[in-house]
Amino acid sequence: MTSPVRVRIAPSPSGHLHVGTARAALYNWLFARHHKGTFVLRIEDTDKTRSEEQYVDSIQASLTWLGLNWDEGPVFQSQRGDVYDRYVEKLRHSDSVYPCYCTPDELAAKREQQLADKAPVRYDGHCRDLTPEQRTSYEEEGRPAALRIRIPEGETSYQDLVYGEMKRPNDELDDFICVRADGTPTYNFACVIDDHDMGMSHVIRGNDHQVNTFKQIQIYRALDLEPPRFAHLPLILGPDGSKISKRHGATSVTEFESMGYLPHTMVNFLALLGWSPGDDREVMTRDEIIESFSLERVNPSNPVFDQQKLQWLNGEHIRRMNPNDLINALRPHLVDAGLTTPLEIETRWAWMLEVVTAMQERLHLLTDMVTQGAYFFTDDFRYDEKGVKKQFRREGAIDALKGLAQAFGNIPDSEFTKERTETALRELAESTGEKPARYIHPLRLALTGMTGGPGIFDVVTILGRARCLDRIQQAIHFIENLPPVEAESGS
RNA sequence: GUCCCUGUCGUCUAGCCCGGUCUAGGACACCGCCCUUUCACGGCGGCAACACGGGUUCGAAUCCCGUCAGGGACGCCA
């Protein structure tokens, strides 16, 4: 690559950042970073009816969250009217365009007719070769004119960096509208203007733009400009094999954020969705991905978005995290769930480290800390039903807990360590001739409400003496008040 | 309907350009076993694919053609 790499992502603010757009952004970003180029953010907000301010913010927030920092922008198309005017003027004087007086209604009617006739849907060329008299006549009728490009004979081709040689006969391209009757450029024209004006070297975008690329190349030609290099990305599919959309579940980056995914998981996963480094590496750091990234290795077939693999990958990255960073990542989720406050986290950092270390290898989602570790933060939890049946209803459960209460109670608070509590429990078991498990399982249920979790003595020491004794008493009380098991009844 | 793209385990993929090293490799998921106070992690093992049909060739997942299937695009939206 001789000229400096300049690429962009150009979302339109009609919704939150979609995973498909996020991936396009990522591949542009990776390409830019790999080649030490420039990544630009451009907001395509010319459709006022669909664009919303909140989404402009949301999209930027999501890109930032993902760590896809842009070097220039955001550039708003809505603020570039004068730039477009200049190019519209330039195009107007080109003989590659002609005024079209057909009204949108007339065109829509023709389109429907063609569809009904099962004919190719094309512009019929009604205004392509109007005589000066006809034009004057339309003008006098007061019909506003849009500007159509006159596609010449021949074929249009380009070298796609992912798909290779692409070409199609020009008669399959339409004389499409470049400038609306109100003088504003349509998407394809605005896109060309911006990409050229902003000095884009490569345009990397979704496969759904392949036809636009041919059209845009014709605009570059009409304007006598050098087109950039193009690369198209396969489209992400949902589990049912159709283009991923809301009905497949989560599709926007913010949703994944609130579900408890790490930004780097999304980056890593999206990078692997359609691209591979060529070896067996899957769990990769950002730098490794940048280092190995190339468009040549993008797989041209459409991948299916697999949430299970995403979740696995999230677990991998959580396990690889520094516990301090993990606390920070966990914070919003814990706070949102009302389990703690930022201040509390700050002031009990050492204790948080213990909690996080105990839970780290068990988390797949950050929100798992809320669903599986709430008991570290609150006494307000229920006992697992199956656990109650198996542990609390068992003969001798109360005695076991009473024994533990006494054994733990005998340990001074200052000596309430993992070693001491474990020894105490094992000695208790030995003295009664029971297996340690007879004590461990009811204890876990009493302390956490759950049947699984970190090593029990980790839990015991993290909770501390007072809370342990308290919860053991609670459990004893609970068991004593358990209703008798009812015979199976149909009521 | 027209045009375009794609087609390796259920899913993500390596291999394909430069045919033999592929009895097709890895990962997720799933199923066993091991580790273990539980859950998870980890380890070991298993299941499972070159869409189909023709060519070309001594030899094809790899090259060519066709069929089929999936996806996308057909706006004075972006």
C-alpha angle A469/A452/A255, rounded to 5°? 110
pLDDT given for residue A49 in this prediction: 79
Q: What is the pTM of this model?
A: 0.93
A178: nearest nucleotide, CA–C1' criterion? B76
B strand bases under 7 Å from protein CB = 1-8, 10-16, 25-29, 37-42, 70-78
Q: What's the CA A279/C1' B17 distance, rounded, in angstroms?
A: 18
A371 touches A336 (CB < 8 A): no
Which residues make beta-bridge pairs with A43? A76
Which CATH superfamily hosts domain A246-318?
A: Glutamyl-trna Synthetase; Domain 2 (1.10.1160.10)
CA distance A407 to A425: 7
Q: What's the CA A212/C1' B35 distance, rounded, in angstroms?
A: 58
CA distance A337 to A367: 9
CA distances for A74 relative to A57, A85, A189, A269, angstroms = 11, 21, 20, 26
Q: What is the CATH number of domain A385-480?
A: 1.10.10.350
A103: nearest nucleotide, CA–C1' criterion? B76
What residue has its CA nearest to the C1' of B76? A180
A466 touches A413 (CB < 8 A): yes
Q: Give the domain A83-233 fold.
A: Rossmann fold (3.40.50)
What residue has its CA nearest to the C1' of B2? A120
- Other beta carbons within 10 Å of A454: 21
Q: What's the CA A268/C1' B41 distance, rounded, in angstroms?
A: 21
Q: What's the CA A312/C1' B51 distance, rounded, in angstroms?
A: 30
The ranges of chain A with pLDDT < 70 are 1-2, 486-491
Q: Indicate which residue of A246, A386, A389, A435 is catalytic.
A: A246
What residue has its CA nearest to the C1' of B71? A242
What residue has its CA nearest to the C1' of B77? A47
CA distances for A356 relative to A120, A341, A376, A482, angstroms = 62, 16, 10, 34
The candidate with the shortest Cα–Cα distance to A368, out of A255, A448, A446, A261, is A261
pLDDT given for residue A486 in this prediction: 62
Give the containing element (helix H, strand E) for A276. Answer: none
The interface pTM score, or ipTM, of the predicted complex is 0.95
A191: nearest nucleotide, CA–C1' criterion? B78
* 8-state DSSP, A39: E
Q: What's the CA A96/C1' B58 distance, rounded, in angstroms?
A: 58
- A246 included as an active-site residue: yes
CA distance A251 to A245: 6
* 8-state DSSP, A42: E
Q: What's the CA A256/C1' B40 distance, rounded, in angstroms?
A: 23
A361: nearest nucleotide, CA–C1' criterion? B41
What is the residue type of A474?
Q
What residue has its CA nearest to the C1' of B40? A362
